[in-house]
């Protein structure tokens, strides 16, 4: 019988003295194949382990062509190897994966929701279940049922069986991989679940610590259910508490009043925005009238802190009153220059040609159609030259 890899023999092993039996390179990435390994290769929804081989970073671990390849930060020679595991990452994966087995089993047995997929993400995990939808109350009941099994500290074990024995077991499984041969690994949560799985798991459900359901998303006729387990749940709670502390300071309200206090602030902001838009419209009308009253066929203005929408509004106001004029407007916003050249229906200015000339002088990118040309420039240092060119064209 073949020897199982160290990560399967003892998922709590954090280091291993072994040998590098082969080195290679795949698409520019150096890799090493070891005689044995504590690093789990990616598979079954569980990400790979990381660590070091002789002090060189293991950046990926994959099964390729019947061997486990440790992709490294730099090449290493064949020979003795000291392998060290990133234990924090491994234990996190064990908490999330064992949590998934428990969540799947409880959802199936108590709610008849079958799991069709599992994803162990970098920050949150999820399972896809067959329920089209479920209520908040049902989610609370599911979470409580999982918590009861965590408190029960149910033993988690793994064993391998042959195909004949597998057929006699009451296994919860989505089926074996296509083309599978050889024995089959079963992971059991005592009294709760028996499942096919090649991943790393905890000794008992108590080590999950906690499992928190985060929310749902409709997906392909089913539901994606998001969760975090173990240390992730504690870190997430800590982040929420830190965020709430900052919000309490900013809003001057206790936790239970943060949302109403924020809503008041948003309502106030919306009212201010409406008032600001009204004042801006009045300002545009006033400035448009003042520009239209200036002598000459070309009028110009530079406006600090105004956006292109304001320039367009101002130009329309000028030309509505004085259709024989052309208007050249610029503004500085966030260290970038804006310019707009527009002419009224009765103006003789060649706007496309004049606009291209302005853009060239300003080192700007721009374009337009008909009687309007606008653009953005890295600066307006050459504004005076651009204005002089326009005045010469307008004659």
Residue 1 has pLDDT above 60, yes or no: no
What's the pLDDT score for residue 220?
82
What mean pLDDT is predicted for residues 349-369?
91
Strand partners, 342: 327, 372
Percentage of residues of the chain with pLDDT beyond 70: 98
Task: Give residue-wise pLDDT tens across range 141-192.
Answer: 999 999 999 999 999 999 999 888 888 888 887 667 666 778 999 999 999 9
Q: Percent of the chain, pLDDT > 90?
A: 80
- pLDDT of 331: 93
Residues 80 and 107 in one domain: no
* Domain extent at residue 137: 91-238
- Assess if residue 155 is contained within a domain: yes
Do residues 40 and 10 both lie within one domain?
Answer: yes
In a domain, 244, yes or no: no
Q: Is residue 262 part of a domain?
A: no
In terms of phi and psi (left: phi > 0; alpha: psi -120 to 50; beta: otherwise), the region of 188 is: beta
Structurally, the chain folds into a number of domains equal to: 3
CA distance 291 to 314: 9
pLDDT score at 375: 92
The backbone region for 270, taken as left when phi is positive above 0, alpha when psi lies in -120 to 50, beta otherwise, is alpha
254 within domain boundaries: no
38 and 142 fall within a common domain: no
188-222 pLDDT tens trace: 999 999 999 999 999 999 999 999 999 999 988 89
Average pLDDT over the chain, rounded to an integer:
93
- The answer, as to whether pTM is greater than 0.85, is no
In a domain, 248, yes or no: no
The CA distances from residue 7 to 37, 41, 379, in Å, are 6, 10, 60
Specify whether 58 is located in the same domain as 10.
yes
Question: In this predicted structure, what is the pLDDT of residue 164?
Answer: 85
Q: Do 98 and 54 share a structural domain?
A: no
Same-domain pairing of 321 and 366: yes
Q: Residue 94: which pLDDT band, with cuts at 50, 70 and 90?
A: very high
Q: What are phi and psi of 301, to 5 degrees?
A: -160, 150
Residue at 266 is within a domain: no
Query: Residue 196, CB half-sphere, CA atoms under 13 Å: how many?
Result: 20
Residue at a domain's end among 63, 85, 107? 85
102-106, 131-135, 244-248: segment of lowest average pLDDT: 131-135
Task: Report the CATH number at residue 149.
Answer: 3.30.980.10
The domain boundary residue, chosen from 50, 67, 85:
85
Between 251 and 167, the higher pLDDT residue = 251
Same structural domain, 122 and 190: yes
Assign residue 79 the CATH number of its domain. Answer: 2.40.30.130
Query: Do 285 and 191 have their domain in common?
Result: no
Same domain (yes/no): 164, 189: yes
In a domain, 256, yes or no: no
Give the integer Cα–Cα distance in Å for 232 and 228.
Answer: 6
Q: What is the pLDDT of residues 45-88, one digit of tens each?
A: 899 999 999 999 999 999 999 899 999 999 999 999 999 999 99
Task: List phi, psi (to 5°) of 252.
Answer: 65, 40
Tokens of 202: 């905890």
In angstroms, the CA 359 to CA 336 distance is 14
Tens-digit pLDDT profile for residues 310-340: 999 999 999 999 999 999 999 998 788 999 9
Q: Is 313 within a domain?
A: yes
Q: Where among 208, 223, 238 does a domain terminate?
A: 238
Residues 110 and 199 in one domain: yes
Angle at 372 between CA 366 and CA 376, to 5 degrees: 25
Region 298-318: mean pLDDT is: 91
Supply the angle between the helices 87-111 and 231-251 in degrees, to the nearest 10: 90
Is residue 304 domain-shared with residue 373, that is, in the same domain? yes
**Looking at the structure, do residues 95 and 78 belong to the same domain, yes or no?**
no
Which of 95-99, 330-334, 372-376 is the least confident region?
A: 330-334
CATH number, domain containing residue 384? 3.10.310.40
Query: Given this model, what pLDDT does residue 133 score?
Result: 87
């Amino acid at each position: 019988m073949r020897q199982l890899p160290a990560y399967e023999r003892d998922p709590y092993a954090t280091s291993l003295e072994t040998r590098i039996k082969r080195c290679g390179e795949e698409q520019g990435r150096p890799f090493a194949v070891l005689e044995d390994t504590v690093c789990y290769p990616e598979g079954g929804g569980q990400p790979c382990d990381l660590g070091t081989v002789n002090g060189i970073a293991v950046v990926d671990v994959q099964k390729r062509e019947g061997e486990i390849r440790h992709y490294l930060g730099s090449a290493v020679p064949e020979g003795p190897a000291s392998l060290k595991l990133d234990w924090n990452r491994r234990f996190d994966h064990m908490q999330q994966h064992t949590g998934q087995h428990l969540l799947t089993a409880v959802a199936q047995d108590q709610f008849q929701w079958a799991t069709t997929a599992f994803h162990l993400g970098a920050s949150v995990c999820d399972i896809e279940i067959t329920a089209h939808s479920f209520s908040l109350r049902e989610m609370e009941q599911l979470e409580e049922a999982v918590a009861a099994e965590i408190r029960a500290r149910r033993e988690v074990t793994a064993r391998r069986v042959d195909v004949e024995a597998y057929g006699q077991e009451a296994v919860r499984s989505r089926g074996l991989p296509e083309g599978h041969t050889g024995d089959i690994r079963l992971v059991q949560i005592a009294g709760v679940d028996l499942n096919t799985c090649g991943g790393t798991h905890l000794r008992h459900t108590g080590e999950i610590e906690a499992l928190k359901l985060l929310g749902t998303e409709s997906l392909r006729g089913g539901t994606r259910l998001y969760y975090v387990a173990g240390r992730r749940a504690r870190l997430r709670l800590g982040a929420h508490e830190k965020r709430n502390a900052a919000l309490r300071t900013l809003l001057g309200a206790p936790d239970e009043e943060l949302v109403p206090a924020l809503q008041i602030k948003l309502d106030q902001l919306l009212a201010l925005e409406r008032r600001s838009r009204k004042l801006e419209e009045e300002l545009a009308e006033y400035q448009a009238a003042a520009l239209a009253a200036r002598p000459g066929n070309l009028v110009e203005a530079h406006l600090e802190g105004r956006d292109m929408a304001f320039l367009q509004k101002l130009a329309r106001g000028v030309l509505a009153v004085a259709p024989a004029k052309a208007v050249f407007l610029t503004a500085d916003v966030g260290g970038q220059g804006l310019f707009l050249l527009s002419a009224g229906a009765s103006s003789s200015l060649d706007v496309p040609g004049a606009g291209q000339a302005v853009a060239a002088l300003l080192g700007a990118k721009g374009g337009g159609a008909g009687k309007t040309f606008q653009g953005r420039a890295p600066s307006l240092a050459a504004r005076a030259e651009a204005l002089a060119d326009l005045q010469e064209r307008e004659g």
